[in-house]
């Protein structure tokens, strides 16, 4: 999240991010786990680093090995980690950074586009619809906007730097006219207009992983208006909630069937879907990378019920030169493939999750997460000015599915659950 994120209220995700930042490190299995949530990696970082203007400040992936296993006699038994200070099977910390030999052609600079073909040309509308630059398309756009007199049109040249790209990103999340907002250079709004989240949930619920165990969330509801005040949850639910911060925006749109609450992002997603491979986009793999981006490796939480996949580690190999060990992307230099470490529980992230358990937490309606205690409950009721007699406990089975635009996520999801007819149990 950008350094000026305090200026941008992005549904309940802003307060969720702030909760991770404020939560003491002792509540996480490791400091690495907390850092992963505050600075999630991009599975397409290698491609983004080739962009003419790269706003992705994600640090390049580093590789670490156990210092006790670097000599030649341990050839074939080395373990490699992308996370520093994880424990090796011998008990030592894996904190020796390995040099990566830049022998992969994928890392070479390219003068053409990263995702689009070199000869492709496009028209971008104010609401981020992207279409091939054809004469018929141009005429149709002018006609659709009622512009038949070319004399009323003004051509402007806009210098696009990092600042403009970041502003365009902000406006794409907040506005239906991000290009106009960018050209006018006006202040951007701090809040996203709330939309009907419920209409997007049925498509998502069809793809939920039904094999995983369900979590019970105890929600305290205000009797008078049925508003969810806060929930009492265990660490597994907090793990799942925190994992929202690691899911790429493209994956969120994909999970919601291409119909998220962000108008301009929807248009951008649909535009990519309609562009032809080879004519407009370089390859099907790159198109898939945009439409269904993967989690960065090691970021798949064991409590993740959404059908989202994790990127596979890139093929890396041992490279010995004068008995000095380094890494390479190819195995053509008398190398053996590196084996990646597994965490102590056999999961795919640090200890299979982020938050240490067993533990109980309180989650407010706008996703503020704090350790649960009687004092925290009393403080929350006082802050909301809610009399104790106006509170009841509501047990909600199921899990939150999306929270892009709402600052009352618990209330929105709970109301949808209560509207669903209960299924009768088989005799």
What is the Cα–Cα distance from 150 to 235, expressed in whole angstroms?
A: 61
* Dihedrals phi, psi of 411, to nearest 5 degrees: -60, -45
Q: What is the pLDDT of residue 399?
A: 37
Let me know: does 234 contact 213? Beta carbons within 8 Å. Answer: no
Report domain extents, the chain. 5-53+121-310+348-419
SS3 labels along the chain: CCCCHHHCECCCHHHHHHHHHHCCHHHECCHHHHHHHHCCCCCCHHHHCCCCCCCCCCCCCCCEECHHHCCHHHCCCCEEECCCCEECCCCCEECEECCEECCCHHHCCCCCCCCECCCCCEEECCCCCEEECCHHHHHHHHHHCCCCCHHHCCCCCCCCCHHHHHHHHHHHHHCCCHHHHHHHCCCCCCECCCCCHHHHHHHHHCCCCCCCCCCEEEEEEECCCCCEEEEEEEHHHHHHHHHHHHCCHHHHHHHCCCCCCCHHHHHHHHHHHHCCECCCECCHHHHHHHHCCCECCCCCCCCCCCCCCECCCCCCEEEEECCEEEEECCCCCCCCECEECCCCCCCCCHHHCCECCCCEEEEECCCCEEECCHHHHHHHHHHHCCCHHHEEEEEEECCCCCCCCCCCHHHHHHHHHHHCCCCCCCC
User: Cα angle vertex 399, ends 273, 1, to 5°?
Assistant: 60
Q: What is the pLDDT of residue 341?
A: 56
Q: What is the pLDDT of residue 340?
A: 61
Is the pTM here over 0.75, yes or no?
Answer: yes
What is the Cα–Cα distance from 413 to 402, expressed in whole angstroms?
A: 9
Q: What is the pLDDT of residue 281?
A: 94
Give the tokens for residue 340.
């990646």
What is the Cα–Cα distance from 119 to 116, expressed in whole angstroms?
A: 8
* pLDDT, tens digit only, all 427 positions of the chain: 444 444 566 778 888 999 999 999 999 988 888 988 998 888 888 888 888 887 777 777 788 888 887 765 665 566 777 777 777 777 788 888 887 776 444 444 555 689 999 888 999 988 999 998 887 777 788 777 777 677 777 788 888 888 899 888 888 888 888 988 888 765 544 434 344 444 444 444 455 555 555 677 888 888 888 788 888 889 988 998 899 999 999 998 888 887 777 889 999 999 999 999 999 999 999 999 999 999 988 888 877 778 888 888 777 777 766 666 777 776 654 445 556 654 544 344 444 688 988 899 999 888 889 998 877 777 777 777 777 666 655 543 333 333 455 566 666 665 655 555 444 444 4
What is the Cα–Cα distance from 308 to 208, expressed in whole angstroms?
A: 10
Let me know: does 339 contact 69? Beta carbons within 8 Å. Answer: no
Instruction: Using alpha carbons, list the distances in angstroms from residue 274 to 40, 130, 140, 252, 268.
Output: 29, 9, 18, 19, 10
Q: What is the pLDDT of residue 288?
A: 95
Q: What is the pLDDT of residue 299?
A: 86
Q: What is the pLDDT of residue 285?
A: 94
* Contacts of 223 by beta carbon, 8 Å cutoff, 6+ apart: 390, 391, 392
Question: Which class for 403: exposed (0-12), middle (13-18), buried (19 or more C-beta within 10 A)?
Answer: buried
């Amino acid at each position: 999240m950008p350094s000026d994120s305090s200026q941008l209220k992005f549904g309940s995700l802003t307060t969720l991010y702030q909760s991770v930042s404020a939560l003491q490190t002792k509540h996480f299995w490791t400091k690495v786990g907390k850092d992963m949530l505050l600075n999630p990696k991009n599975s397409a970082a290698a491609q983004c680093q080739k962009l003419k203007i790269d706003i992705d400040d994600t640090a390049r992936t580093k590789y670490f090995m156990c210092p006790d296993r670097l000599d030649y006699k341990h050839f074939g038994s080395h373990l490699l980690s992308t996370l520093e200070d994880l424990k090796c099977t011998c008990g030592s910390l894996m904190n020796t950074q390995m040099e990566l030999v830049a022998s992969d052609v994928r890392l070479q600079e390219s003068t053409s586009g990263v995702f689009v073909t070199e000869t492709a040309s496009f028209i971008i509308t104010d609401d981020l619809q992207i279409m091939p630059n054809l004469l018929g398309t141009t005429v149709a756009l002018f006609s659709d906007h009622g512009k038949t007199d070319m004399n009323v049109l003004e051509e402007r040249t806009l210098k696009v730097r990092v600042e403009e790209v970041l502003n365009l990103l902000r406006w794409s999340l907040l506005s239906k006219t991000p290009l106009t907002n960018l050209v006018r250079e006006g202040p951007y709004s701090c809040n996203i207009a709330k939309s009907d989240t419920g209409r997007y949930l049925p498509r998502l619920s069809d793809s939920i992983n039904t094999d995983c165990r369900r979590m019970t969330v105890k929600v305290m509801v205000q009797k008078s208006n049925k508003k969810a005040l806060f929930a009492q949850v265990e660490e597994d639910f907090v793990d799942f909630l925190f994992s929202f911060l690691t899911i790429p925006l493209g994956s969120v749109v994909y999970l919601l069937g291409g119909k998220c609450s962000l108008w301009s992002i929807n248009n951008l997603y649909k535009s990519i879907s309609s562009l032809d491979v080879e004519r407009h986009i370089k390859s099907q793999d790159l198109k898939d990378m945009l439409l269904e981006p993967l989690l960065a490796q090691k970021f798949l939480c064991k409590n993740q019920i959404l059908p989202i996949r994790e990127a596979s580690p890139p093929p890396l190999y041992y490279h010995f030169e004068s008995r000095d060990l380094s890494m390479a992307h190819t195995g053509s230099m008398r190398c053996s493939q590196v084996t990646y470490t597994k965490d102590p529980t056999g999961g795919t992230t640090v200890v299979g999750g982020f938050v240490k358990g067993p533990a109980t937490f309180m989650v407010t309606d706008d996703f503020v997460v704090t350790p649960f205690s009687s004092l925290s409950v009393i403080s929350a009721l006082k802050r909301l000015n809610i009399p104790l007699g106006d509170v009841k406990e509501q047990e909600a089975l199921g899990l939150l599915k999306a929270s892009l635009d709402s600052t009352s996520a618990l209330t929105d999801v709970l109301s949808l659950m209560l509207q669903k007819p209960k299924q009768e149990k088989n005799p």
